Amino acid sequence: MTLARHRLDATGSAPRIEWISAPAPVPYEAAVAFMEQRAAAIANGRAGECVWLLEHPSLYTAGTSADPAELVSPGRFPVFDAGRGGRYTYHGPGQRVAYIMLDLNARGRDVRHFVTALENWLITTLAAFGIAGERSDSGVGVFVGGAKIASIGVRVRRWVTFHGVSLNVAPNLEHFSGIVPCGLHDTPVTSLEELGAETDMARVDEALRTSFEEVFGLPGT
């Protein structure tokens, strides 16, 4: 696979991307409030692009296409309407969430191309651990041997992106049983830990930052 043709570089003299890493799990509503404010500031030219790496406490989120019948255990964890694309997903400790606030005015107003670039970013990150990630005709995201290891759900407002991706590093995979993840009834979920990768969140973050520049250009701060 040649990933270079799917780069999503910024044009002109855009500033370096700010990378933020949360030291403790972030409540979901606080994360959404931050993204809303930052995306508005980017659109208004008052802030630069940003990638925010974090974990959430255990919770489920519902995208704009979520089917209530796919919330199998409604009382198990808090459920939030995310406002992003997609259906139900799980977030919790051991899962790396990356919220991506980029200006598509500078990178090309093509949401499909942006989602493809996110998939390439995740595939390149997995390759750093000797894992061959791939796309699937069954839906957006990244899969390994038919099992889903990473999900993507984004929102775009005034051509600035927010929300982003989640990569299963070492979460409790049983927690996904409370939903039909991403509406995929017959698709299991997996993680770096389950696949035998010897890694931790710090090494995953390093791989994410390294592969980000390959796909999106512009080093981070």
Tell me, what's the pLDDT at 220? 54
Tell me, what's the pLDDT at 8? 60
Give the model's confidence band at 5: pLDDT under 50 very low, under 70 low, under 90 confident, else very high. Answer: very low
Where along the chain do its domains lie? 4-216
Of residues 198 and 16, more confidence is placed in 198
Q: Is 50 a catalytic residue?
A: no
Task: Yes or no: say if 25 and 56 are a contact pair by the CB < 8 Å rule.
Answer: yes
Read off the tokens for 55. Answer: 């974990």
pTM to 2 decimal places: 0.91
In this structure, the number of other CB atoms found within 10 A of the CB of residue 113 comes to: 15
Cα torsion angle, 5, 14, 141, 67, sign: negative
Task: Give the mean pLDDT of 184-213.
Answer: 93
Cα separation, 76 vs 178, in Å, equals 7
Cα separation, 125 vs 94, in Å, equals 16
Tell me, what's the pLDDT at 219? 55
Catalytic residue among 182, 189, 197, 207: 182
Tell me, what's the pLDDT at 143? 95
Tell me, what's the pLDDT at 53? 98
Give the model's confidence band at 86: pLDDT under 50 very low, under 70 low, under 90 confident, else very high. Answer: confident
Distances (CA, A) of 170 to 30, 92, 127, 167, 186: 23, 10, 17, 9, 21
- The CATH number for 4-216, chosen from 3.30.1300.10, 3.40.50.10860, 3.90.1200.10, 3.30.930.10, is 3.30.930.10
Task: Yes or no: say if 22 and 52 are a contact pair by the CB < 8 Å rule.
Answer: yes
